Amino acid sequence: AQSVSQHNHHVILSEAASLELGCNYSYGGTVNLFWYVQYPGQHLQLLLKYFSGDPLVKGIKGFEAEFIKSKFSFNLRKPSVQWSDTAEYFCAVKNSGGYQKVTFGTGTKLQVIP
């Protein structure tokens, strides 16, 4: 069975600081990977996704993520955060064959202090 770990449950940063949120998954086969963001009181929105090709994926709002297959990781990064990035971030993994189940991590709450 696949699983996703987000080790940082709550991150507090000052504006302009750099961000890296960890995501590790466990699955023996080929996976597709996603990062979603949930702003306070809102639904989940897709930030970026990786299916194949360049392991460095760029998403909306200046976010990017790097897939490192050898480390089973898909960490989310942003060079300079803004107060408006305050939200909860979810990593998700889907196996690329068979039943298309998506497994979500438990989320990381990011608080950006002005």
Partner 1 sequence: DAGITQSPRHKVTETGTPVTLRCHQTENHRYMYWYRQDPGHGLRLIHYSYGVKDTDKGEVSDGYSVSRSKTEDFLLTLESATSSQTSVYFCAISESGGSTDTQYFGPGTRLTVL
Which residue ranges make up the site for partner 1 (CB under 8 A)? Answer: 32, 34, 36, 42-46, 49, 51, 90, 94-97, 100-102, 104-107
8 A C-beta contact, residue 63 and residue 79: no
Q: Smaller CB distance to partner 1: residue 3 or 82?
A: 3
The least CB distance from residue 20 to partner 1, in Å, is: 19
Q: Smaller CB distance to partner 1: residue 17 or 49?
A: 49
The least CB distance from residue 5 to partner 1, in Å, is: 11
DSSP assignment string, 64-108? EEEEEGGGTEEEEEESS--GGG-EEEEEEEEESSSS--EEE---E
